[in-house]
Amino acid sequence: MEEQVGQLWHRFITRAATTHYPAATVELTAVSRTVGVLFRAGGGDAGLRIEATTATTHGARRSWLQRLAGSHQQVELCWRDTEALRLPAQINWFPERQLNYDLYLWLAVLAAGPTDLNLPWFSLNQQLTQDRLTRFPGLQSRYERLVAAQLALRPDPQQLPTDEAAQELAIQQALRQPGSVTELPPAKRPHQPVYLWLHPSPPLLPNQSSKISTPEATSTPQTRNNTQKVNRRRRGEYTPMPDGKKGLLAFRLESLFTLAEYVKVDRCTDEEEDTQAAKQALDDLEQVSVARDNQTAAASLRFDLDLPAPTHDNTRIGEGILLPEWDYKRQQLRPDYCCLQPMLAAAAPPVELPPHLRRTAQRLRHQFEALIPTRTWYKNQPEGSEIDLDAYLRQLTEYRQGKMDVERGLYRDFRRGSRNLACLLLADLSLSTDAWINNTARVIDIIRDSLFLFAEALATTGDQFALYGFSSRHRSHIRFHILKEFTQTYNALIRGRIQAIKPDFYTRMGAAIRHASSLLRQQPASQHLLLLLTDGKPNDLDQYEGRYGIEDTRMALHEARKQGLQPFCVTIDETASDYLPHLFGTQSYVVIRKPSDLPRELPLLYARLTQAK
């Protein structure tokens, strides 16, 4: 009974203290695509992701009802770093939905400006506002409506102490006329948040590589569905493991002291019964602390991800190939920074095509027979199956007229044409492909079936093609699996290599793309198609995670295009639209929404990409 009364009281007082408008809520997931386009069109960095920000404590004055409810202590404000543009997960500060939508657009344009200026927060936001309104005058009326809505939510300076009133007047004047106020007067208490400006002190991590990610940010294909999820960055820190002995908290509530003791609990999210409650608990934390428990789990993890013993590993071909890597922070290539190791399956006996693929393969072979160049007459040939009468008569006429300069071919031959193209398919074989989709099939099984059908279809046309797979473990060991080379004929031995593929390690795309490009450009053809088959973005154990890996992959693709190659990406990653346009462009990738369709769609996609050649 007491618990029910407490819940009712909590809902009542929280609802009474709120100043938001739930009916006018606009979600970031609904406008992320529009916001991304507007941010990049406004001059923003094309490599930044669009993510939900984390709430931070503002410390501003609150009403007595808000203090009683314990609410309005944190706020989500816009900011950006080298990885992403971070916007509130939802905006419902204004009573009109259109105003909340316009605020998303305004923040995207504002954040696209030059925020590297060495200015204080107060002056920086005014200068950014001036710059944006000058460059995009069409935003003036929208900005004025947002300012009017923002001022309606600001506190009345007459009801504030002198120092806070002076500060509030300066902020309101800066909102009405950006650039008219040079300095923000000091005050003992922080000012109310300014929704139209960037975060005054964004919670940047001192070491981006040690960030704490939520389950949404590290989801695998087994958790993918049609619902959109918001990636949210958490501030994190590593802390020593509590010993369970220091637990006295001087928490005064009606003169009562509470004794709290740390309890070691192995809380596994896979076995969590109330996952929604766990997520809400995480949402309430402004900073997540992580401690190393003991060495058992860490040792087991290292064993699982360590390289296999040479006696159980695939056969290494050569001593490895040194390749460069692009460092976007230094804006230069690091020569001989990565080592790529070509590998061949050690135990891959010849196999026949799996029975469940034979009917589809037969249908694809019939469809791809239409791509086989038809037999036509080749005239004016120096050699051929019969005399070309037209050429003979023209030559005889010119000879009698004294106009004969060079001898022409007098034969014609009936033979098949040539498509004159080469395709290299590079498959991602990282550990993420071991995940299950809808508990029916693993990603690696879908990739394997796709390779089978792709090879069956291209073997019908006679096109030059090669198949490779890749994974990585640090920059010093990038595994490049040889499935079929250009000079090899597709047969049972190649099928055995495809059957033997398995997921392992991580996804260092840049080096794999560079080596694949080198192999492809050596083929004599008029069209060189580089197909990348993947289920996620680039990553590895070192700094290759995040923006670094994205930019290295983008540079590798840029180098491939300069060599005359045509890169194209096929992915089943539902979040691919956040980063693939930056990597491949808007017309050079496709997202397969239903992964089970990949084996059938991949050969047909190849046909569409090459039929005009």
Q: What does each C-alpha distance from 556 to 5, 565, 592 come to in angstroms?
A: 62, 11, 23
pLDDT in tens, 255-306: 444 444 444 444 444 444 555 555 655 555 556 666 555 544 444 343 345 5
* Region at 418 (left for phi over 0; alpha for psi -120 to 50; beta for the rest): beta
Whole-angstrom Cα distance, residue 461 to residue 395?
A: 38
- HSE value, Cβ hemisphere, 13 Å, CA-based, for 410: 8
Please determine, for residue 527, whether its predicted confidence score (pLDDT) is greater than 70: yes
Give the β-pairing of 74-75 and 56-57. antiparallel
Q: How far is CA 384 from CA 408, 410, 411, 420, in A?
A: 13, 9, 5, 22
Could you name the CATH architecture of 315-369+419-610?
Answer: 3-Layer(aba) Sandwich (3.40)
Residue ranges of the chain assigned to CATH 3.40.50.410: 315-369+419-610
Binned at pLDDT 50, 70 and 90, residue 47 comes out as confident
Instruction: Tell me the CA end-to-end span of the chain in Å, nearest whole number.
Output: 76
From residue 296, alpha-carbon distances to 264, 276, 301 in Å are 15, 29, 9
Question: Where would I find the beta strands (DSSP E) of 345-393?
Answer: 375-381, 386-387
The full DSSP string for 563-596 is: TT-EEEEEE--TTGGGTHHHHH-TTSEEE-SSGG
User: What are the distances in angstroms from CA 519 to CA 99, 196, 408, 424, 612?
Assistant: 54, 52, 38, 8, 24
Considering only CA atoms, which of 139, 136, 135, 148 is closest in space to residue 176? Answer: 148
Beta-carbon contacts of 358 under 8 Å, excluding residues fewer than 6 positions away, are none
CA distance 63 to 19: 11
* pLDDT at residue 330 tops 50: yes
Structure tokens at 533: 């088959």
Is-above-0.85 flag for pTM?
no
Give the tens place of pLDDT for each residue, 441-491: 889 999 999 999 999 999 888 889 999 999 999 999 999 999 999 999 999
* Least confident segment among 167-176, 353-362, 410-419, 434-443: 410-419
d(CA 37, CA 21) in angstroms, rounded, equals 27
